[in-house]
Structure 1
Amino acid sequence: MTRSNNRLYAFSRLGKYFVIDTYTGSSFEVDEPVYRYIHDSIPSNEGREGVEEIYSVLDNPPSREEILAIVENLEKRTHRALCLNVTHTCNLACRYCFAAQGTYGGPRNIMSEDVAKAAIDWLVVTDAKTVDIDIFGGEPLLAWDLVLFILEYGTKKAEEEGKRIRFSLTTNGVLLTKDKLDVLNEYDVNLTLSIDGDKWHNDMFRITPDRKGTFDTIIENFLEVERTRKGYNYYVRGTYTKWTIDFASTVQYLADLGFKVISMEPVTGSGMPWHITMDDIPRIEEEYEKLAHIFLDYARKGKPFIFYHFDLHRVNPPSLVRRFTACGAGLEYMAVAPDGTIYPCHQFDGVKEFAMGNVKNLKPYEEPRQNIRKIFVHANALRKSPCTTCPFRTLCGGGCHAVGYFTTGDVMKPDPVQCEIIKLRLQYAIAVNAFDEYPTSV
């Protein structure tokens, strides 16, 4: 059945067999004959009957034109999430930092209360019932007084407008004292805690300007987050490189420390010896295989943790729009630099051709530069040429626009290395979710 080759994609992981409906992203665990029928074109009655059974339960998906009409209607929707890049400075000098050690390639700068106020005022009058503010940097805790202002003023303005507001903050942890954590807990701020694993892995790249490691400074601060939150509303985010590619053992180490929600992200690109390249994909596949076994083994032993990229609720959103547009950068989500300049997301901060205006000059309900918004309306998995034939397009949404831009020079061309990593992530996420041991809570 050639039809099955067009719509169904088969793969095998962890001793199980799976089929993905490439039109919708739905996945099915199947028997080996069905897998062989689709994957290897090996005919058998059992395989054919299994494929026919899958087709019998598949919905008729909307056409490409219908999906495009829905997705590209986003141009008419308003922003509902802002990343406030409160500092263009940092107290660390991480060697792999995409933001040039927090400066974004420009002068060191800290956002004023006036800019933060203008950004919040612009956000809360949107038509969304819930709005989000991500407090970012640089290192945002260098501007603690401003963080307090954002939390207090944002809460007040949201209440006045009858909106729900959610806050998040990313920190390297050096300045995360107990007093600050108490305030962040009071406002229920979702925390992203940057740590790359044990002392050796972390201090390879996460260093101070005078080249000292940071592990000993931050580890107790981060453990205090877990002690007070017990797996709630935070995650530790590590970064792995060609030199620290053994991320399965790193995740295991962090889980052994007691952290309940963990993510590991790759540094791809070219020009630096630690950049992950296509040559590293076989090793990354090995690491995901190891990690999947660790993950399930810990769940069996009553020590469950959440690995961010194994959580299908995070990587496979129910919204049709989200399945084809990923994060919504430049449309529903934007970033504001310390001087008030608006960018499609924090990674585009400082890239002048993507500047979308300034919050100090925008009127309520006004959307910034439409020509930039149009770029991101079209940057979806139905229009990016490598994505149109990819079986994982409805689970990925076209990948990170910024990573694509910085590696290929075009937001319409995903980073091919990232693509291969995402395919591995998704296959292992689907596979571990098929086991009864998969943890539903931690």
Structure 2
Amino acid sequence: MVHQYKNNGYNIVLDVNSGAIHVVDDVSYDVIALYEDHTPEEIVAELSGTYSEAEVKEACEEVASLVKDGELFTKDEYENYIMDFKKRPTVVKALCLHIAHDCNLACRYCFAEEGEYHGHRELMSYEVGKKALDFLIANSGSRRNLEVDFFGGEPLMNWQVVKDLVKYGREQEKLHDKNFRFTLTTNGVLLNDEVMEFANKEMGNVVLSIDGRKEIHDHMRPFRNGKGSYDLIVPKFQQFAESRNQDKYYVRGTFTHYNLDFADDVLHLADLGFKQISVEPVVAEDSEEYALREEDLPKLFAEYDKLAAEMVERKKSGKDFNFFHFMIDLEGGPCVAKRLSGCGSGTEYLAVTPWGDFYPCHQFVGNEEFLMGNVWDGVKRTDIRDEFKCCNVYAKEKCRNCFARFYCSGGCAANSYHFHGNINDAYDIGCELQKKRIECAIMIKAAEAEMEVEG
């Protein structure tokens, strides 16, 4: 399978199954489009009005060489591999600890209902958190590196328990030959020097929530009294990012129907000095005024193109920054299992409520249909785990023939469920945006390669 597209002046050809990417001239681009279904003679005849016969013949020979070398029109060798997924032993490697089902903001798009997750406000106790870490260690098999994300609501509303659990985790590392990577997601309201110092010592990554320009952020992320939070958090986030040497963090925003010009929000964050940026599309039902709609897609595609082009220019001038959705590894990348099945929710990764219940991920919390067990009894609903084990790009009809499948790994199971009622479908608007991001990311890589050649 081959995917061809043009972006910001580049003719790009992706061989989906091998991952090989080619930046080609116009004649080669047009030859590749005809190659599978036409003989060389037919291709020459088809393109004779546009290019010379010699140009087309040379391009045909170059394409034939790439096919022979396994870099174009390669076969899919992974579909049979996926059949063994359900047989794999389940090894849990990451937990999302809902350390606080409470929040000091009232974000309009919050899927967690101001931290309550369709339930009640509650803070996780040290005892529940300790049992969760014990469960992770006991169910991690021979895997040494484990991850725990302190999530909410707002985790800093339960900061002492966060610190106590990190201390406990560090003690257990030595006893069980494990290595914990702790991460934290915060809205920044309670961020202070003590939190920053502790996080810089103990947190492998910190996510700082901000939506971009002041008017956009304050409209969607106010306090409960309606007052905006931008002016309070920006100086703290700038200080924190610098204290981490502009690494191992990212500012993370959400764009909605209200700011379809979201590239300006990304660039605003870059202009504030942030080097690690993620601004992601809201996921919401059409009934919500802020929801993204199908008719918004052309504008959003143009914004991604605009952002990608600007990032290339800033790279040339030494003012580059990383945009999470354009970060793509064309040489290494995730292992085959990850490419086929995604984040590992419900199997390798679980969310833990303040009272100790397990769910496949944070977006399923509160939906009793997906309650898998708890920190005392372990995973009891192995049928849910098995269903998630078999959630992969070949189980989804929309993914089987999609060029993006090995990059997005089938998309988000929670989004699929919320829009279609099962985890083996796909959220359509999300798919279209994902495909566009992948195209832009590859274009940026092509531009960077060109810059290296030019010196």
Both proteins in one fold, TM over 0.5: yes
The Cα shift of 1:356 comes to 0.6
Matched, 1:19 2:13: yes
Given that residues 103 and 153 in structure 2 are in contact (C-alpha distance below 8 angstroms), is that contact kept between their aligned partners in structure 1?
yes
Q: 1:220 aligns with which of 222, 227, 235?
A: 235
Report 1:421-432 matches (<5 A). Answer: 421-432=433-444
CA RMSD, 1 decimal: 2.0
Gaps of 5+ in 1: 1-6
Report 1:347-386 matches (<5 A). Answer: 347-362=363-378, 367-386=379-398
Give SS of 2:120's match. coil
| Amino acid paired to 2:91 | T
For residues 24 and 405 of structure 1, do their structure 2 counterparts lie closer, same or farther at Cα, with a shift above 3 Å needed?
farther
Matched with 1:344 is 360
| Amino acid paired to 1:112 | S
Give SS of 1:94's match. coil
Matched with 2:198 is 183
Larger RCO (alpha carbons 8 Å, 6+ apart): 1
Q: Tell me the distance in 1 between the aligned counterparts of 2:429 and 2:6.
A: 21
Matched with 1:4 is none
Q: Deviations over 1:178-205 (max 9, x none)?
A: 1111011111341000000121111110
Q: Deviations over 1:164-184 (max 9, x none)?
A: 110111000000111111011
| Amino acid paired to 2:279 | M
Q: Which has the larger radius of gyration?
A: 2
Gaps of 5+ in 2: 36-45, 48-55
Hey, which bits of structure 1, 4+ residues long, moved more than 4 A?
A: 40-43, 59-62, 437-440
For residues 315 and 180 of structure 1, do their structure 2 counterparts lie closer, same or farther at Cα, with a shift above 3 Å needed?
farther
Q: Deviations over 1:22-56 (max 9, x none)?
A: 22433222222232233467654344333323222
The Cα shift of 1:133 comes to 0.2
For residues 100 and 46 of structure 1, do their structure 2 counterparts lie closer, same or farther at Cα, with a shift above 3 Å needed?
farther
| Amino acid paired to 2:334 | P
Matched with 1:98 is 111
The Cα shift of 1:316 comes to 7.8
Report 1:36-435 matches (<5 A). Answer: 36-39=30-33, 44-58=56-70, 63-74=77-88, 76-125=89-138, 126-127=140-141, 128-269=143-284, 270-313=286-329, 317-362=333-378, 367-435=379-447
Q: Tell me the distance in 2 between the aligned counterparts of 1:204 and 1:122.
A: 40
Matched, 1:29 2:23: yes
For residues 294 and 396 of structure 1, do their structure 2 counterparts lie closer, same or farther at Cα, with a shift above 3 Å needed?
same
Give SS of 1:434's match. helix
For residues 318 and 380 of structure 1, do their structure 2 counterparts lie closer, same or farther at Cα, with a shift above 3 Å needed?
same
Q: Deviations over 1:197-252 (max 9, x none)?
A: 12111111001111110001111110111120122110001110011121111111
Q: How many residues align?
A: 429
Matched-pair identity in %: 37
Q: Tell me the distance in 1 between the aligned counterparts of 2:248 and 2:399.
A: 32
For residues 112 and 315 of structure 1, do their structure 2 counterparts lie closer, same or farther at Cα, with a shift above 3 Å needed?
farther
Matched with 2:40 is none
Q: Deviations over 1:273-307 (max 9, x none)?
A: 11001111100111011101211111111111111
Given that residues 19 and 330 in structure 2 are in contact (C-alpha distance below 8 angstroms), is that contact kept between their aligned partners in structure 1?
no
Give SS of 1:421's match. helix
Q: Deviations over 1:132-183 (max 9, x none)?
A: 0011000000001111112111111122111111011100000011111101
Q: Tell me the distance in 1 between the aligned counterparts of 2:359 and 2:77.
A: 32
Q: Tell me the distance in 2 between the aligned counterparts of 1:61 and 1:120.
A: 43
Q: Tell me the distance in 1 between the aligned counterparts of 2:329 and 2:437.
A: 14
